[in-house]
C-alpha cells in the first residue's frame, strides 16, 4: 500500500503540557513516522507519514485524546503531494517561529500533581522529600520561562543541567517526565536552604530534617519566610494571637487586612469553614487558588486571621514544599500571606528577601530564579439568583497567561490596555486573543510601575509582538496616565486613547460575554472611584446604548467628598456630607456624637468638615456618585467600621456584618427612592439615613445593614427595569468592584431577571479594577481596528 504524508499545524495551549510527548507516543503506537516540533508562539508543527487510513486515525486521536490541559485554537491539515521519507518518528529541534493559522500560548503554573506528591513519601532516593518534584503534568511554567518555544534552554532550569538519571527520564518516551522541561532531582536540581534571622545558614543532613525543624518552629509561634513558585510568603500559626499581631505590626502596621491561610486538606477546612460544591471543585482544581469561604459556627482559628469578616481566604498546598511543611505539623493550617508590603512587588531575590524581611525568625529559600513574579489568585463564589458566579478578586497564579477569546479580530494588530491604578493588570490583545498579565498591584510606587513595564515587556517578548495602540484610563492623576508619554516612547507607539473608567468596566463584560458591539445594552457600574466625564468622581452609574457609545442615564445622588481621599480613609466625612442633605448642623452633631472619635481630630474635625459643607467650597473633583463611599458611610453610621485600613474595608465589613447575624424575617420597610432629573434617574441615597435612625429603635444593626444593601440593589433594578421597558432592552451588564458584594448583586439579578431579562457579570476576570484593561483594549479594538 502507498504511503501518504501530511503537515499538521496546531495552535492553542500546546506547549508546556506534554503535547509533544503525547504526539510522539501516539505516533509510535500507530507506527506513524515523521516528527513534531515547537514553533514559538505559532504553536506546534507535526509532519506525519503513513498509510492513509492510519493517518486519518492519527489525526482523529490527536483531536480527541489530547492532554487534559491542552486546547486547540486551530487545527490545520495539509496533505503533501510528495511524501517525505522518514524512518521513524521523533521530537525535532524547536524553531523560534513558524507559519500558523492560530495563536499559541503557555499554560499557567500548574500545582504539583498527585503522582509527584506520592513520590515525596516514597523510598525513591532522588524523589523522596524533594520539594521540586515535577513532571509533564505539573510544575511551574509562566514563572520560569524567558521566551518561547517552551524548551529547557529558554527557561531558568538551564542553570540546572540534567544528571544522568534525569536525562534518561527526559528521553524515555514511556516515562511521565519525557520532555518535561522542569525535570530535576536531588542530584541535579534546585535546593532549599534554611537561614536564621541573622542570615546564618542552618545545616541539616536532609530535607526531611530541615522541614521537620521549620514546621515545629511555626507551631511554636515563629515567623518564617518561604520562597515559592512566584514569590515569597510569610508562614506562621493560625491560632496564636501574639504571632499574628507581631506580623500585622511588621507588615507596615497592617491593622485588620485579612491573611490568607493554607489548609492540609478539605476535611481540615470543614472544621472552620463552610464549603459548597462549587467551592470544593475550584479549591481542589489544578489551579489551587485562594477561595473566600464563609466561617462556620465551629470556627476556631484566631480572630486576627481575618478580623471583623464573615469569611476567610483558604487554599490547598500547590508546591512540594507546602505539602512537606504541612505534613510535619500537628496543626492542619498555616498562614501563607504575601511577604511584600501592600502595593509593593513580590520579593523574589534572596538578598532582597533577607534585607526587607529582617523581622522574621527564619528564611527558607531556594536557588531557582523566579523569572516572573506571580501572586496567588483570590476568588469568591457568589450565589446570584440560583446560579454560582465566580468573582475574581485577584487573577494571577493558575490563570496567567491564559487568554480571553474575543468575538472580533484585529488581525495582525496588537493593542495594550494598561488599566487604571489600583489592582492593576495590563492586557495585550493580538488577533482575537486578549492576554492579561499577572496581578501587578496598585501603581503608586516607582517599584510597582517598573514591575508593570517588566510584565508588559515579557508578554511582548513571549508572543513576538509590537504594540500598535495603547488604551488607558482618563483619570488625569493616575501614574499610568501621567506617564503615558513615557510609556508610548518606551514601546515606540503613537496611537493612544484614554477611556472613561466605568465605560471600560461595562465593556469588559461585553467582551467576556461576547455581546454584539452594535446591540443596545444597559450597563450598571458600581465601584469606589472613577474619573467621570464631567470631572467629578463617578461610582454609581447606569448607562444605556451600544458599547462604543454609552449614554449615562442614571446615577446615585451626588454628594461632596470633604477632604477628597481623606473621605475614603475616614468614612465619617462622607457620612457628614450625606447627612447634610436632610439635617441641619445641630442635628448632624447629635446624630454623630458617638462617632467623632473615628476622626483624628475628633469633635474639632467634625466641626471643620461641617464648616466646609455649609460654605460649599468643593470643586467638581470633590463631588461623587460613588457606591463605595455610600456604603462606607452606612458602615460608620452603624458603628461597624470608622477607618479604612485596607482598600474597601468599611464596605467589606458592612457586608460581612450583615451576613454574620440573623437577617431573616419580614421586610423592615427600608426603601431608597429615585427621581427623574434633567440628567436622568437619580437614586436618592441620602434618604437612607433618616430611615435608619427611625428603624434603629426596633431592629438590630445586622438587619439594618442587610436591608440597606438589599434596598440599594432593589432601587437600581427598579430604575433599570424602567429604562429597559422604555427602550426594549433585554441585556443588562453589571461590573465594578462593588459587584463583589453578594447582597447587592444578588438582588439586582433576581429583580431584573424576573421580568425575562438577562443579567451578565464578569466571570473570567475581576469585576474590579483588575478587569479594566480588558474593557480598554476591547473599546480600542472596536474604535480603531474593527
Task: Report CA-CA distances (Å) from 355 to 340, 359, 397, 482, 745.
Answer: 12, 9, 25, 32, 44
Helix (H, G, I), strand (E, B) or coil at 329: coil
Residue of 573, 570, 561, 559 whose CA lies nearest to 622: 561
* Residue 157 DSSP one-character state: G
Residues contacting residue 263 through CB under 8 Å, at least 6 positions apart: 269, 314, 315, 316, 332, 333
E strand intervals along 344-487: 362-366, 378-384, 387-394, 404-405, 414-417, 427-430, 433-436, 469-473
Give 415's strand partners: 429, 469
Residue of 777, 659, 650 whose CA lies nearest to 382: 659
- CA-only gyration radius of the chain, Å: 28
C-alpha cell at 92: 525535532
C-alpha cell at 26: 501516539
CA distance 156 to 348: 13
Residue length of the chain: 786
How would DSSP label each residue in 645-675? SSTTHHHHHHHHHHHHS---SS-------EE
CA distance 781 to 586: 54
Q: State the first-to-last Cα distance of the chain, in angstroms, to the nearest integer.
A: 50
Cβ atoms 711, 683 nearer than 8 A: no
Helix (H, G, I), strand (E, B) or coil at 141: coil
Q: Which residues of 447-469 are buried (b: 16+ CB within 10 A; e: fewer)?
A: ebbebbbebbebbbebbebebbb
Helix axes 52-64, 19-30, angle to 10 degrees: 150
CA angle 393, 397, 402 (to 5 degrees): 95
Helix (H, G, I), strand (E, B) or coil at 383: strand
CA angle 416, 422, 423 (to 5 degrees): 75
Give 291's strand partners: 314, 379
CA distance 615 to 282: 53
Cβ atoms 623, 559 nearer than 8 A: yes
Catalytic amino acids?
20, 38
Amino acid at each position: 500500500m502507498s504511503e501518504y504524508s501530511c503537515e499538521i499545524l496546531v495552535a492553542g495551549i500546546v506547549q508546556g503540557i506534554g503535547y509533544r510527548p503525547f504526539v510522539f507516543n501516539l505516533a509510535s503506537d500507530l507506527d506513524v513516522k515523521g516528527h513534531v516540533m515547537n514553533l514559538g508562539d505559532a504553536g506546534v508543527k507535526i509532519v506525519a507519514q503513513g498509510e492513509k487510513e492510519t493517518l486519518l486515525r492519527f489525526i482523529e486521536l490527536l483531536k480527541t485524546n489530547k492532554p487534559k490541559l491542552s486546547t486547540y485554537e486551530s487545527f490545520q491539515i495539509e496533505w503533501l503531494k510528495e511524501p517525505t521519507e522518514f524512518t521513524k518518528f521523533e521530537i525535532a529541534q524547536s524553531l523560534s517561529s513558524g507559519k500558523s493559522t492560530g495563536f499559541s500560548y503557555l499554560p499557567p503554573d500548574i500545582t504539583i500533581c498527585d503522582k509527584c506528591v506520592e513520590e515525596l513519601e516514597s523510598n525513591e532516593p532522588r524523589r523522596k522529600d524533594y520539594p521540586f518534584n515535577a513532571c509533564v503534568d505539573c510544575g511551574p511554567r509562566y514563572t520560569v520561562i524567558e521566551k518561547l518555544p517552551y524548551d529547557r534552554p529558554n527557561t531558568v532550569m538551564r542553570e540546572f543541567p540534567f544528571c544522568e538519571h534525569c536525562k534518561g527520564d527526559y528521553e524515555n518516551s514511556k516515562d511521565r517526565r519525557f520532555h518535561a522541561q522542569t525535570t530535576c532531582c536531588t542530584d541535579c536540581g534546585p535546593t532549599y536552604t534554611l537561614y536564621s534571622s541573622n542570615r546564618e545558614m542552618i545545616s541539616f543532613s536532609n530535607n526531611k530534617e530541615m522541614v521537620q525543624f521549620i514546621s515545629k518552629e511555626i507551631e511554636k509561634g515563629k515567623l518564617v519566610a518561604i520562597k515559592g513558585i512566584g514569590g515569597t510568603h510569610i508562614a506562621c500559626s493560625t491560632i496564636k494571637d501574639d504571632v499574628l499581631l507581631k506580623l500585622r505590626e511588621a507588615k507596615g502596621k497592617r491593622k485588620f487586612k485579612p491573611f490568607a491561610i493554607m489548609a492540609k486538606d478539605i476535611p481540615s477546612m470543614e472544621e472552620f469553614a463552610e464549603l459548597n460544591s462549587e467551592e470544593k471543585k475550584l479549591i481542589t482544581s489544578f489551579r489551587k487558588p485562594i477561595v473566600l469561604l464563609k466561617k462556620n459556627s465551629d470556627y476556631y482559628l484566631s480572630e486576627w486571621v481575618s478580623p471583623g469578616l464573615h469569611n476567610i481566604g483558604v487554599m490547598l498546598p500547590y508546591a512540594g514544599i507546602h505539602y512537606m511543611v504541612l505534613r510535619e505539623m500537628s496543626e492542619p493550617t498555616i498562614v501563607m500571606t504575601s511577604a511584600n508590603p501592600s502595593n509593593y512587588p513580590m520579593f523574589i531575590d534572596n538578598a532582597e528577601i533577607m534585607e526587607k524581611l529582617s523581622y522574621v525568625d527564619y528564611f527558607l529559600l531556594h536557588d531557582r530564579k523566579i523569572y516572573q513574579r506571580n501572586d496567588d489568585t483570590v476568588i469568591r463564589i457568589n450565589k446570584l439568583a440560583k446560579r454560582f458566579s465566580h468573582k475574581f478578586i485577584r487573577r494571577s497564579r493558575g490563570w496567567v497567561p491564559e487568554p480571553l477569546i474575543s468575538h472580533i479580530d484585529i488581525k495582525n494588530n496588537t493593542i495594550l490596555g494598561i488599566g487604571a491604578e489600583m489592582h492593576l493588570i495590563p492586557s495585550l490583545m493580538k488577533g482575537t486573543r486578549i492576554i492579561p498579565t499577572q496581578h501587578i498591584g496598585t501603581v503608586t510606587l516607582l517599584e510597582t510601575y517598573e514591575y508593570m513595564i517588566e510584565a508588559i515587556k515579557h508578554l511582548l517578548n513571549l508572543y513576538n509582538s509590537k504594540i500598535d495602540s495603547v488604551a488607558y484610563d482618563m483619570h488625569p492623576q493616575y501614574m499610568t496616565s501621567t506617564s503615558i508619554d513615557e510609556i508610548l516612547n518606551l514601546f515606540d507607539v503613537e496611537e493612544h486613547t484614554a477611556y472613561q473608567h466605568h465605560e471600560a468596566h461595562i465593556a469588559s463584560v461585553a467582551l467576556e460575554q461576547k455581546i454584539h458591539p452594535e446591540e443596545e445594552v444597559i450597563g450598571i457600574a458600581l465601584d469606589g472611584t472613577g474619573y467621570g466625564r464631567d470631572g467629578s468622581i463617578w461610582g454609581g452609574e447606569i448607562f444605556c446604548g451600544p458599547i462604543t457609545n454609552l449614554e449615562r442615564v442614571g446615577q446615585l445622588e451626588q454628594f461632596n467628598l470633604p477632604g477628597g481621599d481623606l473621605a475614603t480613609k475616614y468614612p465619617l466625612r462622607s457620612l457628614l456630607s450625606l447627612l447634610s442633605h436632610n439635617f441641619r448642623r445641630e442635628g448632624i452633631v447629635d446624630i454623630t456624637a458617638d462617632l467623632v472619635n473615628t476622626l483624628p481630630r475628633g469633635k474639632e474635625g467634625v466641626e471643620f468638615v461641617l464648616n466646609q459643607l455649609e460654605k460649599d467650597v468643593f470643586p467638581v473633583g470633590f463631588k461623587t456618585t460613588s457606591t463605595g463611599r455610600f456604603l462606607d458611610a452606612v458602615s460608620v453610621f452603624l458603628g461597624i467600621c470608622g477607618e479604612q485600613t485596607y482598600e474597601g474595608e468599611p464596605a467589606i465589613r458592612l457586608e460581612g456584618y450583615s451576613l454574620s447575624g440573623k437577617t431573616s424575617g419580614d421586610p423592615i420597610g427600608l426603601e431608597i427612592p429615585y427621581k427623574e432629573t434633567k440628567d436622568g434617574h437619580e437614586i436618592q441615597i441620602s434618604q437612607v439615613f433618616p430611615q435608619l435612625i427611625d428603624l434603629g429603635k426596633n431592629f438590630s444593626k445586622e438587619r439594618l445593614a442587610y436591608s440597606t444593601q438589599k434596598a440599594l440593589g432593589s432601587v437600581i433594578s427598579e430604575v433599570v427595569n424602567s429604562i429597559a421597558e422604555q427602550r426594549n432592552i433585554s441585556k443588562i451588564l453589571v461590573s465594578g468592584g462593588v459587584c463583589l458584594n453578594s447582597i447587592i448583586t444578588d438582588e439586582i439579578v433576581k429583580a431584573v431577571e424576573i421580568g425575562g431579562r438577562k443579567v451578565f457579570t464578569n466571570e473570567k476576570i475581576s469585576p474590579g479594577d483588575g478587569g479594566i484593561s480588558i474593557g480598554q483594549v476591547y473599546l480600542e479594538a472596536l474604535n480603531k481596528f474593527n
